[in-house]
Structure 1
Amino acid sequence: MKKKLNFEDLCPALKGIFLLKGKWSMCIIHTLLDGTKRFKELEREVIGVNTRMLSKELKFLEKEKIVRRKAYATIPPTVEYSLTEKGKALENVIVEIGSWAEKYA
């Protein structure tokens, strides 16, 4: 019987890939590198994502402390998203992946 692999058993690179596994995660992070955005702004700027998927990805990224969600008590409700320090630290990773993709993809 095979032993089930625990998250803690993975190499650091694989842990990072797991955290960014969502189809839209990198696009959302890349968009938020420009600064704080409201939900509808993200929906317009992340081309191809639908409302349900954007919401799902943002919840996951918030849970992993990559994205910060700030809700204001207004009518209608205003919600803004921004990167945490952990999220901002991904900027160099995104730039390097982009450079690699331009050269080899």
Structure 2
Amino acid sequence: MAVEVITREDLNEFRTLLLNDLKEIMHSKTQQAKKWLKSNEVRKLLNISLGTLQNLRINGTLTYTKIGGIMYYDNADIDKLLNGNKVNALPTLFK
């Protein structure tokens, strides 16, 4: 049976690779958004009041699903709302 010697450099290289892999895993987990958000999460995400969120529901701007008194909002609908209301900045014209 052959004996293989592991050096400090080998261990440091392994540590670096392992840390990079863990960082990638953690980064991909944070990138994955929740499918359904509760009202308080939507309010924090959009930085709006409870009344504003209610107005968005009432006028049909933001769809929701109500289950047992709790309202859930589809994250994709929030993205559509934000992307649909984009405003292109026009360059300021000097006279």
Task: Give the TM-score range, shorter chain.
Answer: 0.3 to 0.5
TM-score normalized by the length of structure 2: 0.41
